[in-house]
Structure 1
Amino acid sequence: MLARQETQARSRVELMPLSPTTWRVCNDRYADGDLRRVVGYLQTIDDGYEMLWMRPRPGVVYRYATMDAAVTAITARLELTSDPD
């Protein structure tokens, strides 16, 4: 099984590997079982990474050159769209 990959403590992003090229993107602000926890799916593409958002609007896709760029952008968006604690 693939190792779970987590970002720095300040980030709300948790990447759960589904395959060598695909991760489930979760918002660690929410507990397992909370429907708001899964925010999308990140996968490698030919020239970088593609994020398919499931929240707040399903089907929105963004592309990033690097994994770090993707996580940074996802973290910023979660800070803007997540419900307050």
Structure 2
Amino acid sequence: MTTTRHGTTTAPVVEVVPLTPTTWRVCDSRNDGGKDPRIVGYITTAPDGFEMLWMRPRPGVTYRYDTFDDAVHATETRLRMLRR
């Protein structure tokens, strides 16, 4: 997986698109427009790292991570588990 703080990140499961210098939209790259939305949440900078705000399956759940890469990797892992 290749990630950058300021660019688009594409992984087998996670697509991260920058919205602002501090916010990224996180999509499930495996969803091609079916009944479930592609957007799964948002990563934002936090005072001590990064937060992932989930929009599905349970809106409002937030996880904190030390680095942007940690947030992307953990999100990819969770999405893989949700699809089993």
C-alpha separation in 1, matches of 2:34 and 2:7: 18
Per the normalisation by structure 2, the TM-score is 0.82
- Superposed displacement of residue 7, structure 1: 3.4
Stretches (4+) displaced over 6 A: none
What residue in structure 1 maps to residue 23 of structure 2? 22
Alignment: residue pair count: 79
Residue 57 to residue 46, structure 1, CA distance change in 2 (3 Å)? same
Alignment gaps of 5+ in structure 1: none
The aligned residue for residue 41 of structure 2 is 40
The percent of aligned pairs where both chains have the same amino acid is: 53
CA change 1:63–1:75 in 2 (3 A) is same
What is the TM-score with the length of structure 1 in the denominator?
0.81
Q: What is the CA–CA distance in structure 2 between the aligned matches of 1:32 and 1:71, rounded to whole Å?
A: 22
**Segment drifting more, 61-70 vs 30-39:** 30-39
User: Could you say which residue in structure 2 is the equivalent of 1:63?
Assistant: 64
| CA root-mean-square deviation | 1.9
Shift of 1:74: 0.2
Q: C-alpha distance in 1, partners of 2:29/2:76?
A: 11
